[in-house]
Structure 1
């Protein structure tokens, strides 16, 4: 069964203004299913198929000549030189939305696109399901613990497979295939150990030296490995907010995982009871909420940067939305019980950073309400905040 995706509206806008649509996201996030449904009259070519890849590689120009428009080229990172031929072709043809390319390695694809298709290709991520998409299709789970454990990859909703089984297989496949394709990693078991150690630091400012030492690699190797995980849409970095833009890149970021099901598998957390009492439950819940915002902003085409805030005294706000006109501070609490101290950070924020703001506290409870100048928001009502950006 096909489940519609929120990103369709954004894709429709992009296909009217660009000859090439580049759809990038993690493996098994639903990219191919979406593209074959949305562009149902387009011819489909998957470069994971060795025969297809060999035929195109032998004569890329003939392939483009025989398939001048209305084509989908999937897993294009397997044949990046093809993009140069596409560039020449679309410059002559000038037909919008005629070629769709898709892939699962951001680093390999985006570098080649910036070289060959700058100004010609629109770039759009497709991530696993968002919570709002699951809610739209009646697939969302009622409890936040169950939802975080199950995660959001389409396979755990469309196949008869246990989430933990799926994610553990996903980890093995990723390490064996994608990590080696991006960079020739010799010690795959050590890389997998690195992933698990990184999962154990979720929601924390990552100390690269400590992480490298625990893994048994050099700090520059640990930094490279985080970049590999980013390029494959396994993790992302959340940078601290400073008025001085340069400092945002200098100060240490936090690292989060795009999917909590994958995160829990790396932490060997299988049951809701385990998760509820896990020493990292605060960081896992924080990861869940921030990743949902990232998916929603991407699907809606909203270029709203996300940061966290931390001053020299250690005062911290979990998430900052930087819209064109204002900053919106967000605190994320894994507790399901309302406590007025949740809002204390906003008093400091209004006094020292920005006077006229309404902050949001997102918690694991189910009641949403106005609390003075601020807002208490249930974990399953995140669209409320996005709608106000």
Structure 2
């Protein structure tokens, strides 16, 4: 075990198949910070009602404190750590030791600019050409450098949902930084208050929500069955959880009472028809509601603190 995974299996002469267990550890989850029982987040009625009893309310100010601070253990321990100093050191050591040779980076300043530009895409669909143009590199180089960030566990790609009955679907993945504190540092948000009031508040909120659900599966040793769906008319369901032949749709909104979000789930109706039909399970809107409230017979307003 070590702080990065690039050389974990380097030099091992045997595959060790069947004789080794690999556990991927991301930053601390909200559930770990409040000492709540672990479990994959699947928005079934019984699961949500049980979570209400296990989870205290998470006000928006406390939520953005957590988003801005990030999930690194050192920043969430009892000892005092300077936020700027910590992430500055983290980025410098990451650039100078972990990535330089693997990514064939000749210009550290340009790679740092690339990191900052990539952070600006968190919670958004990825556009390699636009990202490359912003940093003045080629699209293949941008693609290669992003692969390094994914391998390092700094970035997660949420792939688009695919089904033969869904036409005109967008094929590009969405990009999420796995640590919102690092993304906030790279984009120079100096405090939780400025981030909460800033132009990227919704992107960071969505990033945090997706990360928490992603961690809920990873921490149980499961591959997260997550995707999203967006059509060419820009109608989007931010998160789909597919398990046991059932798809659970989730919208994500930085609002206390989002309205009309559930109507977007109608674009998924075709997947319940034909030979490869999937059931559409319960879902809802992950938002800043104070209580778990029913929207209709199948969907809920889900307080963000339940994640």
Q: Normalised by the size of structure 2, how large is the TM-score?
A: 0.82
Would you say 1:129 and 2:129 are equivalent positions? no
The alpha carbon displacement at 1:216 in A equals 0.8
1:118 pairs with one of 10, 14, 17: 17
The alpha carbon displacement at 1:362 in A equals 0.5
1:81-100 to structure 2, matched below 5 A, reads: 81=11, 83-84=12-13, 87=14
Would you say 1:340 and 2:259 are equivalent positions? yes
1:171-320 to structure 2, matched below 5 A, reads: 171-244=91-164, 251-320=171-240
Structure with greater proportional helix content: 1
Aligned 8 A contact 1:346 1:359 in 2: no
Q: Which runs of 4+ in 1 moved over 3 A?
A: 351-356
Kindly indicate whether structure 1 or structure 2 has the higher relative contact order, using CA contacts under 8 Å at least 6 residues apart.
Answer: 2
What residue number does 1:145 align with?
A: 64
The alpha carbon displacement at 1:76 in A equals 8.3
Aligned 8 A contact 1:141 1:147 in 2: no
Aligned 8 A contact 1:149 1:163 in 2: no
What residue number does 2:7 align with?
A: 77
Question: How many residues are paired up?
Answer: 275
Q: For residues 278 and 148 of structure 1, what CA distance do their matches in structure 2 show?
A: 13
Q: For residues 79 and 313 of structure 1, what CA distance do their matches in structure 2 show?
A: 45
What residue number does 1:18 align with?
A: none
Most deviating of 168-177 and 210-219: 168-177
Q: For residues 280 and 304 of structure 2, what CA distance do their matches in structure 1 show?
A: 25
Mind listing any 5+ residue stretches in structure 2 that lack a counterpart? 37-54, 273-278
2:271 pairs with one of 335, 349, 353: 353
Q: For residues 6 and 111 of structure 2, what CA distance do their matches in structure 1 show?
A: 25
Residues 119-164 of structure 1: per-residue CA shift (max 9 Å, x gap): 33222101111110001189x9851111101111100122311323
The alpha carbon displacement at 1:258 in A equals 0.5
User: Cα 1:119–1:293, aligned 2, differ >3 Å: closer, same or farther?
Assistant: same
Q: For residues 356 and 322 of structure 1, what CA distance do their matches in structure 2 show?
A: 9
The alpha carbon displacement at 1:240 in A equals 0.4
Mind listing any 5+ residue stretches in structure 1 that lack a counterpart? 1-22, 28-74, 88-115, 383-389
Q: For residues 193 and 361 of structure 1, what CA distance do their matches in structure 2 show?
A: 35
- Larger Rg computed on CA atoms: 1
What residue number does 2:43 align with?
A: none
Aligned 8 A contact 1:304 1:322 in 2: no
Q: For residues 121 and 181 of structure 1, what CA distance do their matches in structure 2 show?
A: 28
Q: Normalised by the size of structure 1, how large is the TM-score?
A: 0.66
Aligned 8 A contact 2:251 2:261 in 1: yes
Secondary structure class of the residue paired with 1:183: coil
